[in-house]
Chain A
Amino acid sequence: MPAFNKLRDAFISATTISPKYRGPWTLLKKEMLRFWRVGFQTVAAPVITALLYLLIFSHVLEGRVQVYQDVLYTVFLIPGLIMMSVLQNAFANSSSSLIQSKVMGNLIFVLLTPLTHLQFFCAFLCAAIIRGLVVGLCIYLVAVCFVDLPISQPWMIVAFALLGSALLGTFGIIAGIWADRFDQMAVFQNFIIMPLSFLSGVFYSIHSLPPFWQSVSHLNPFFYMIDGFRYGFFGQADISPWISLCIVTTAFLVLAWSTLKMLKSGYKLRA
């Protein structure tokens, strides 16, 4: 029994959060519990939506479109759909939590605490990343039941999934801070997130586009995230994954810096 007690104590001390980090950890836990409590809406629904896209597009276009050599269209489609869902759900998590808390007034419970702006940012960001990754993982697990999906560069998959969800989670925080009403948030969803994700090459390679639209696609940050993520599976991409990684990392750092500045100044949160 002493060995068991030692093991138990070691486990408890390893999993006990130091009081110094309990504040941000509590906020993260609350944010995770918030989306988990409505898991049908926040996890199951986006998984079903992605699988419906997969079913319809693969049924219509399989055998008619060949994007990469030796890669079936359905197989090509899956990483793009996974990444699109990761990005959309990371954005939805932080933005919806903030706008709901602002509209209902309960954000005050967090604003009255000694949490720093960095801790506030990290908690919302991590919850957004986790929801994005959970949705992405669920789509992957369902998809591999039906399709043989190769993995060429696993670290690229991890890097793009983390950076992409972090970028959109950060953008969601900005949207949540800026918007005062649900219709303002819908502007972000319908006029920025949806068009950028649908026009990012989820369903096609940008090489199949006319030169003008190829150039336009290079202005879309979603393109780099999806192209780089897909490279992790197939070892092929429309542009170098290192360029994509640099662009996504830079975009994340710029947005994170801007968000921290907003939080520090109290923009729209403290009068």
Chain B
Amino acid sequence: MTTAIQINRIHKHFGALHALKGIDLSVEQGEFFALLGPNGAGKSTLINILAGLIKPSSGDISVLGFDVVEQYRQARQLLGIVPQELVFDPFFNVREMLRFQAGYFGRGPENDAWVDEILVGLGLADKANTNMRKLSGGMKRRALIAQALAHKPPVIVLDEPTAGVDVELRQTMWAFIKKLNREGHTIILTTHYLEEAETLCNRVGMMKQGELVALDSTANLLNKFSGKKLSLSLGEVSLPEAIRPMLRGQEKGVHTFALTDMAQIELVLSSLRTANIAVADMQLHEADLEDVFLSLVGKQ
């Protein structure tokens, strides 16, 4: 089966800046894939190359076998991209925008039923005849997603689609996107909400400074970093030297330690006892994607 997206040794230079340093990545059809990384990691540059908005310095990307530069018409026909910026055309209402967007891809009146389905699926049905200018930020974001889906593309790229969207709207949106994924659409997601990637995606790629530093299934990544987190309420204290390297965070007197095995609990507690530091409260958590992310790419 042809891969949905095949990225081969992509480099991108912006003057002296080497923004992408030879990215290799393939996303299979039907996958729900997350591309994570701190700001400036190169995620948007990679997506913009996929969209044809930026030309790669070298390397190639194909969408369902079509090269995004040489066969850009076929490649773009198969792609629906939700841009990161909240942009809209102030002259038209939501339904008009969706019809135009579908029309650019050669879809005509026969596509209207699909447009209605998107409007309902994304909770935009009652705003269909509202001018884009009059929509709230969250509604504009949903209209932006609807535009990317208007021509029913098999590969959908969502570049931080939930930024500025409230929880309820986010859930409606994800329910619809998950339905599309179940129907066979490939979804590529970049997000700053790591719990979203953990819940939704089968596979995760993590980028740092233009390089792919991790690429695996979500489950494998969590297993690889299967340590636990120990949160101790200690107040404002100076920690013993022996346990400082394990400290991952400190907020309002609560110190969080990363443990690679359970035996380290005793090490932490005995060090604290020796230093005469009292523990007011204690909690033990499983590692999540955020821990994996922080381990690999560091704090933003």
Write the nearest CB–CB distance from A110 to chain B, whole angstroms: 7
Q: Out of A20, A105, A111, A116, which one reaches B106, CB within 8 Å?
A: A20
A19 and B55 form a contact (CB under 8 A): no
B97's nearest neighbour on chain A, judged by CB, is: A109
Verify if A30 is at the interface (C-beta below 8 Å from B): yes
Tell me if B217 is interfacial: C-beta within 8 Å of chain A: no
Chain A residues positioned under 8 Å from B92 (CB to CB): 30, 33
| Interface residue ranges of A7-26 to B (CB < 8 Å) | 16-17, 19-20, 22-23, 25-26
Closest Cβ neighbor of B75 among chain A residues: A114
Indicate whether A27 reaches chain B with its CB closer than 8 angstroms. Answer: yes
Q: Are A270 and B55 in contact (CB under 8 A)?
A: yes
Q: Is the Cβ of B107 less than 8 Å from the Cβ of A22?
A: yes
Q: Would A23 and B103 count as touching, CB distance under 8 A?
A: yes
Cβ of B219 to closest chain A Cβ, rounded Å: 33
Cross-interface CB contact of A114 among B14, B53, B76, cutoff 8 Å: B76
The reply to whether A112 and B76 contact each other, CB–CB distance below 8 Å, is: yes
Interface flag for A39 (CB, 8 Å): no
Contact with B along A95-114 (1 / 0, CB 8 A): 00000010011101111111
Contact status A109-B89, CB under 8 Å? yes
Cβ-based interface call for A37 (8 A): yes
Q: Which of B21-69 contact A (CB under 8 A)?
A: 48, 51-55
Query: What separation, in Å, do the CA atoms of A23 and B106 have in the docked complex?
Result: 5
A34 on interface, CB distance cutoff 8 Å: yes
The chain B residue with its CB closest to the CB of A27 is B104
B-binding residues in A (CB < 8 A): 16-17, 19-20, 22-23, 25-27, 29-30, 33-34, 37-38, 101, 104-106, 108-116, 266, 270-271
The verdict on B108 contacting chain A, using a C-beta distance below 8 Å, is yes
Q: Is the CB of B53 within 8 A of A112?
A: yes
Question: Separation in Å of the A21 CB from the closest CB of chain B?
Answer: 9
Whole-angstrom CA separation of A17 from B102 in the bound complex: 14
B contact residues around A20 at 8 Å (CB)? 106
**Please, how many angstroms separate the alpha-carbon atoms of A17 and B109 in the complex?**
11
Alpha-carbon gap, A32 to B89, bound state (A): 14
A30 partner residues in chain B, CB cutoff 8 A: 92, 100
Given contacts A16-B108, A19-B108, A34-B91, 18 further A-B contacts (CB under 8 A): A17-B108, A19-B106, A23-B104, A23-B105, A25-B103, A33-B96, A104-B89, A105-B83, A106-B89, A108-B83, A111-B52, A112-B51, A112-B81, A113-B105, A114-B74, A114-B105, A270-B53, A270-B54
Task: Output the least CB separation between A34 and chain B (Å).
Answer: 5
- A37 near B87 with CB under 8 A, answer no
- Contact partners of A105 in chain B: CB under 8 A: 83, 85, 87
Indicate if the CB atoms of A37 and B91 lie closer than 8 Å: yes
The reply to whether the CB of B174 lies closer than 8 angstroms to some CB of chain A is: no
- Distance of A33 from chain B, by nearest CB (Å): 7
The smallest beta-carbon distance between A71 and chain B, in angstroms, is 42
Give min CB distance, B83 to chain A, whole Å. Answer: 5
- Chain A residue numbers with a CB within 8 Å of B51 are 111-112
Distance, CA A33 to CA B96, complexed state (A): 11
Cα of A23 to Cα of B83 in the assembled complex, Å: 20
Question: What are 14 A-B pairs at a CB distance below 8 A?
Answer: A19-B106, A19-B108, A22-B103, A23-B103, A23-B106, A25-B103, A38-B91, A108-B53, A109-B104, A109-B147, A111-B53, A113-B105, A114-B73, A114-B104
